[in-house]
Amino acid sequence: MITIAALLGGLGLVCVLYRKTILGLLVGLQLLGLSASLMLVLSGVASHVPNEGHLFGLFITLSQIGQLVVGYALAVRIFYLKKRTSVEDVRSLKN
Amino acid sequence: MIFWACGGIAVLGGVLATFMTDLRRAVLALWVCGLGVGGLYLSLGAELLAVIQWLLSTLIAIAFIFYAVMFGEFSTPEDAALGVSVTPEPEKKKEWFRPVMPLIVGSAFAGMIWLGATHLPSMAQHGILFSDPHEIIETTKTYGPQTQETEKKSEVAMGVQGLGRSLAEDHLLAVEILALLLFLVIVGSGVVARLEKPET
């Protein structure tokens, strides 16, 4: 069971490192979030306090929305400036 | 059985989402992965979380496709200006080795999670690493928690009603912080993504 969460987490990290666009990066972050959430639910079930696991899974899932919205906003900003959404362009927002 | 079927769907969706070259198909794979994880939640007895996961996965997939279509896959700024969407950019040189390092790091990360979980007492005790979760859930329902204190708590905290009560009583501060975080995210994103018009 934990294997599924571990696989999803590994795939998420691979996606974050492999993709070159911001939207691809966000896909990887979503996979990582799914893995973390699933891990918490499984831990809750294994510890015989399932509701605690569900609650923390819920918090992680809702926090992912915030992360996604910020990612979209950054992508829009970079697209205005560079007409593309490459991850490498993020550092151009520094100045 | 359902657990492993949903797990297979989730992992397959994750693999496709990671390695698909076309972003729109990758997003669809992510949606399938989210649905699979929702099924896992359902089989683990987290009905509320499953429904929320399914709804959010669908909304996220729609938003992703919207943005992917809006940005397109432009190779050059000139193409973008013309609105020409260039599907996969022709690779100038073979980059077969590019996914190797991410794969190594990802495998190490997955292995680390798995090995770390084996050292958690509750995980190792119930054989949750390999076994079907239904046995553990049934054990919890039949025999209940081991101490009287947690037993009293578990009588109250069952089902969606218990979740709501727990949210409102035990985790109120966390809910408030999350609400504030989401509010700040909405406002901040609006500020970051605004179109700056050149000063006249």
- Average pLDDT of every residue of chain A: 86
Entry pTM: 0.81
- Give residue-wise pLDDT tens across range A58-82: 999 999 999 999 999 988 888 888 7
ipTM: 0.91
- pLDDT given for residue B4 in this prediction: 84
Give one DSSP letter per residue of A30-46, joined into a string: HHHHHHHHHHHHHHHHH
Give pLDDT tens digits for B148-195.
Answer: 555 555 554 567 788 888 888 888 999 999 999 999 999 999 888 887
Q: Which of A8, A14, A61 sits opposite B102 (nearest CB)?
A: A14
**Residue in B10, B30, B68 nearest the CB of A30:** B30
Contact (CB<8Å) B71/A75: yes
Length of chain B: 200
Subunit contact A2:B129, Cβ cutoff 8 A? yes
Q: Tokens in use for B173? A: 């501060």
Query: For A14-24, what is the mean pLDDT?
Result: 87
- Position A66 scores a pLDDT of 92
- How is residue B133 written in tokens? 């979760």
Which candidate, B23, B83, B191, places its Cα nearest to that of A77?
Answer: B191
CB A64 within 8 A of CB A33: yes
Residues of chain B with pLDDT under 70: 72-96, 122-158, 197-200
pLDDT in tens, A22-68: 888 999 999 999 999 998 888 888 877 788 888 899 999 999 999 99
CB-CB under 8 Å, A73 with B193: yes
pLDDT value at position B200? 58
| A77 contacts on B by Cβ (under 8 Å) | 192-193
Residues of chain A with C-beta less than 8 angstroms from the C-beta of B53: 37, 61
Asked if A57's CB is within 8 angstroms of B41's CB, the reply is yes
The single-letter DSSP state of residue A86 is B
What pLDDT, on the 0 to 100 scale, is given for residue A69? 93
